[in-house]
């Protein structure tokens, strides 16, 4: 039987992309050396566009001056996927997890992240699902969560972005992933949902899917 592992949850609130990336790198190093348990960073970014390993700058439809005028920053990253948007009202999760020795399967990890989000959406009365051949979580109204990860020596970084109360007009500035329509929880439910409520459900479902125990001093443990 696989031994249950601890999950340290750190809620960073609103944080710029660059310091969040530095926090990921620092955490990745600690998790890799087993100086820190598997960790889930939950946060919100100001308006940011990121280009993944399969992305191209041509998928960003505004030039540098236009992005600056709208207070949007642009970063190239080593995560998988193409171009995506991060912004206010969007819940971003960066799991830094050591998949070794019992979960060394990239495909399984991606499907597990999708499962966490699908179960979370079910908790919040939203019908969400996978689409074969695509990565992310979808609803009848469009894509609600993007996933892009990086794995080195079986330690994961980057993660998922869930549109909660997101201003979807910012997706008009990019050709997102496969060009599919996007949606948000707010658009589907007709009202805003507190990010903290969604975080609580994410934590519970992440611990469930990955068979982990949430450390009580880092986050309220849910039942």
Q: What residues are labeled active site?
A: 177
Residue in the block written with tokens 């505004």: 62
Query: Are the C-beta atoms of 62 and 88 separated by less than 8 Å?
Result: no
- Annotate the chain with DSSP letters as a single string: -PPPEEEEEEEEEE--HHHHHHHHHHHHHHHHTTSS-EEEEEEE-SSEEEE-TT--GGGB-S-HHHHHHTT-EEEE-SSSSSEEEE-TTEEEEEEE-B-TTT---HHHHHHHHHHHHHHHHHHTT---B--TT--SEEETTEEEEEEEEEEETTEEEEEEEEESS--GGGGGGB--TTT--B--HHHHHSS---HHHHHHHHHHHHHHHTTEEE-TTTSPPP-
CA distance 8 to 40: 6
């Amino acid at each position: 039987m696989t031994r249950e592992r601890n999950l340290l949850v750190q809620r960073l609130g609103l944080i710029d992309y660059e310091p969040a990336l530095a926090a990921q790198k620092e955490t990745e190093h600690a998790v890799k050396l087993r100086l820190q348990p598997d960790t889930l960073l939950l946060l919100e970014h100001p308006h940011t566009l990121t280009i993944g390993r399969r992305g191209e700058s041509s998928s960003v439809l505004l030039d540098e001056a236009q992005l600056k005028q709208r207070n949007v920053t642009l970063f190239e990253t080593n995560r998988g996927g193409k171009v995506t948007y991060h912004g206010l009202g969007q819940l971003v999760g960066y799991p830094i997890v050591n998949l070794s020795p019992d979960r060394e399967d990239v495909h399984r990890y991606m499907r597990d992240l999708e499962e966490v989000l699908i179960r979370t959406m079910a908790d919040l009365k939203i019908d969400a699902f996978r689409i074969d051949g695509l990565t992310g979580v979808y609803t009848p109204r469009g894509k609600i969560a993007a996933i892009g990860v990086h794995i080195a020596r079986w330690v994961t970084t980057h993660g998922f972005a869930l549109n909660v109360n997101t201003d979807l007009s910012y997706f008009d500035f990019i050709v997102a992933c496969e060009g599919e329509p996007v949606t948000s929880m707010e658009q589907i439910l007709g009202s805003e949902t507190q990010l903290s409520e969604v975080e609580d459900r994410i934590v519970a479902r992440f611990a469930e899917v990955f068979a982990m125990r949430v450390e009580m001093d880092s986050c309220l443990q849910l039942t």
